[in-house]
Structure 1
Amino acid sequence: MTPFKKVMLFCHRWLGFISGLVVFIVSITGCIFCFQNEIQDAMYSYRTVQNTGKPYVQPSQLIAEVKKAFPKASPDYIYYYGAERPAGVLANLGKEGYEYVFLNPYTAQITYHEKPQTNFFIIVEYLHLYLLLPPAIGKWIVGVSVIIFMMIMVTGLILWWPKRKSDRNRSFTIKWGGRWRRVNYDLHNVLGFYATSIAMILAISGLAIAFEPVSKAIYNTANLGKIDYKTEVTEPKSDSLKRAGLAAQPVVNTAFAYARQQVPQAQMFLIHNDPSISGAIGVGAYAKSMHYSHTTGFEFDKYNGKLLKSYIYDKKSPGLKLNEMNYDIHVGQIIGLPGKIIAFLASLICASLPVTGFIIWWGKRKKAKKGPKIRHPKMAAA
């Protein structure tokens, strides 16, 4: 082995020790989360409703029903997930935390409610994002581990790279008929090679979701530095000095109606009522239900209903469009079911790499302790 590859091996091994457990947890939870919608749809009947063909009830009606059931509720988010899906309201109950309330979007009848932290897939998501630690701590542990993992993938690729043409076949295939140690070695090297490009995409998209500097770097790169990030993404504020002049109809209703009128083909709508005194009401109109990569948004003054800002999809910069694709890229759904399967398999391979890598290291360590076998020449027969 060349001195350069020895350095790469040292880095590969010790970076693996540092990040291995976190990479395993993040990868396994990523596998589960890829199909969380499909699994929950199969398990829970409240996640689907019959499409009656009638108009959706107004957001204010959903809010009123939630407030009847939870008088302390401050509905921060309202979701219209699609024609055959329930509406959802994420209600802030103050010291009691949040309540996620599902309602029939045609009748405003409450069909189910739960504390988000009791949902298995929310727990999986928080384990994936924060390792169930306080977000300020867990986010950085996961982020640093993912960056280290990207370095490991690069060093692994350098170590894997075949020296001779004759080695190439062996480098691309797993020798299933070999001894278990050889199979484990091939699982680590060969599967690691095949997963590298997808793993890099998943890692970068995940970092972009969690860290603004990463999403900003992607934004600037895609826009070639020609468009100011803050100008395009900064949300406007309501005029809190004009609180006395409230609109006759609840602004949340007019905002929702405007978004539906402007984007009639949208399948999903997300309404955010910023609870701060100068916060605006934002409405996102999404092209496809449960997909977040193709959206047009509007911001309204919550006191008088004035349209403050529009984010028309066709007018967005390439950088903003790319950043809005991050979630769909991260879970693979950007290309539908095949993408989810690819993301699932890549995550599963990533979870296996710390395990197979540790087994390789442990086997070499035991071999080194035993020392080389000494062969004694047989005595010739007299």
Structure 2
Amino acid sequence: MKIFFRNLHLYLSLVSGLVVAVVCFTGGVLVFEKELEQAWHPERYFVAPTTTPRQPLTQLTAAVRVYKPDARITGLKVYADPTRTVEINLAGAPGGERKSEAARAERGGQPNEGARAKSGAGRGKEGKGGKEGGKGGGEGGRGPVVFVNPYTAAVTGELNYRETFFFSMMALHRGMVGGAIGKLVVGVSTLLFLVIIGTGLVLWWPASRKAVRQRLQVKWSGGWKRLNHDLHVVLGFYSALLLFVFAFTGLAWSFEWFNKGIYAVTNSPMDRPEPPVSVVPAGAAALMPAASAASAESTPATATGLTADATLVQARQLAPMAVYYSLQLPKDAAGSIKVATLRPNAVYDNATDEVYLDQYSGSVLKSQTYEQRNLGQRVRGLFKPVHTGAIFGWPSKIVSLVVCLLGVTFPITGTIMWLNRLRKGRKKQRKLATAA
């Protein structure tokens, strides 16, 4: 029986080993994406606080319109941290809103990062797979983000995700830069990797108690073949559980049926309800097409209603201790303003509370805390922080990085073991032939 598992482990590894190695390597790079991006471009994200009062959001958005006259502002993200810049989201390329909605859904269906999903948009599928824009599913629908100094209204930088190093890493990680086919290849290889991990544990299992110590320690003083064997077998055992978790959660970005399964198992609806709509005043109703155009093209909030500054004041009243306030602007005259806030003790970065405001009166149309999301949304939302190792902050990220790098080595050490076994078999056959 062990021969069967050995052959299964070997041939599945030969088929998927290269893809697994690339996915593990790019996954390791992406573990510290946020930290590396901020370290490489600190001027975008951080400013020195001054005694000067913060500029109103209308002043900041005006500076962005001077910087990019043809851009359409879709949302703002204001941090409570006085050293952080204000992030102003712009609309992406035509069709980007649909792609961004799909990409958001794949991240767990929480549209609270900037303004990538608009209030007033149509119903979205939670966890819908296979419809991200860009190569390899790299979240191609994400529009540019402009960073503004909140004290001086000076533009400090711009981020277009599609042009970054991390977009290329994400494209490789999710689809080997191969579009839908590449995404399928990664998904199938991930499924095979789960089987490889399982059969590896079966092969690792010692036949006697005496062999347990040998399977748990690397013999650094041994020859290179023994060292290669121990690096594969011993370190493979220690990293198997986390690699299994990373591979299992990674399936959510490869297969729609997997996401549907999450909601089926948790007995939760997959469809998000329609966002509430604003009560359009009688005077504005007659001018709705014009108001809608103005809202989309020029103003930071709505043509005749609540301003971004007034929205932020109300958001701070509703959540005075929030880490950040993400204002997602309505895309038409009937849409509502969506405000997402993150608590200081949130489970993960996207575990936000959400409030929809009437864009004219500012009244609360609907609110939902993180705990009020259905079980399927909360489980699916955990997949990204677990998959990236961000769930417990820096300690879990460091562990994830080490495990990902080990994952890169296993196809290499395993292939060397197989080649050594082939050479050994050939030598044995030549000896038998000589003896005969």
Query: TM-score higher than 0.5 here?
Result: yes
TM (normalized to structure 1)? 0.82
Q: 2:124: which partner in 1?
A: none
Tell me: CA distance 1:287–1:107, structure 2 relative to 1, closer, same or farther (3 Å): farther
The Cα of 1:296 is off from its aligned counterpart by 0.6
Q: 2:150: which partner in 1?
A: 105
Mapping of residues 323-362 of structure 1, within 5 Å: 323-362=380-419
Q: 2:199: which partner in 1?
A: 155
Mapping of residues 119-198 of structure 1, within 5 Å: 119-134=164-179, 136-198=180-242
Residues 1:49 and 2:66 aligned together: no
Q: Distance in 1 between matches of 2:184 and 2:253?
A: 13
- Equivalent pair of 1:238/1:278 in contact (CA under 8 Å): yes
The one-character-per-residue Cα deviations of 1:88-117 (angstroms, maximum 9, x if unpaired) are 233236479943311123443210124322
The Cα of 1:324 is off from its aligned counterpart by 2.2
Gaps of 5+ in 1: 378-382
Tell me: CA distance 1:347–1:265, structure 2 relative to 1, closer, same or farther (3 Å): same
Query: Secondary structure in 2 aligned to 1:112?
Result: strand
Equivalenced residues, count: 368
Mapping of residues 276-315 of structure 1, within 5 Å: 281-288=337-344, 291-300=348-357, 307-315=364-372
Amino acid at match of 1:69: Y
Of all paired residues, the percent bearing the same amino acid is 31
Q: 1:368: which partner in 2?
A: 425
Q: 1:380: which partner in 2?
A: none
The Cα of 1:312 is off from its aligned counterpart by 0.8
Q: Distance in 2 between matches of 1:156 and 1:236?
A: 48
The Cα of 1:300 is off from its aligned counterpart by 4.3
The Cα of 1:341 is off from its aligned counterpart by 0.8
Query: Secondary structure in 1 aligned to 2:177?
Result: coil
Amino acid at match of 2:20: V
Q: Distance in 2 between matches of 1:344 and 1:353?
A: 15
In angstroms, what is the RMSD of aligned CA positions?
A: 3.4
The Cα of 1:27 is off from its aligned counterpart by 0.9
The Cα of 1:158 is off from its aligned counterpart by 1.1
The Cα of 1:55 is off from its aligned counterpart by 7.3
The Cα of 1:36 is off from its aligned counterpart by 2.2
The one-character-per-residue Cα deviations of 1:100-145 (angstroms, maximum 9, x if unpaired) are 31112344321012432232223222322232333x3333322222
Say which is worse superposed, 272-281 or 82-91, in terms of deviation.
Answer: 272-281
More relative contact order, 1 or 2 (CA 8 Å, 6+ apart): 2
Say which is worse superposed, 137-146 or 253-262, in terms of deviation.
Answer: 253-262
Q: 1:89: which partner in 2?
A: 88
Say which is worse superposed, 198-207 or 338-347, in terms of deviation.
Answer: 198-207
Query: Secondary structure in 2 aligned to 1:357?
Result: helix
Gaps of 5+ in 2: 97-140, 292-301
Q: 1:40: which partner in 2?
A: 37
Q: Distance in 1 between matches of 2:257 and 2:54?
A: 39
Residues 1:234 and 2:269 aligned together: no
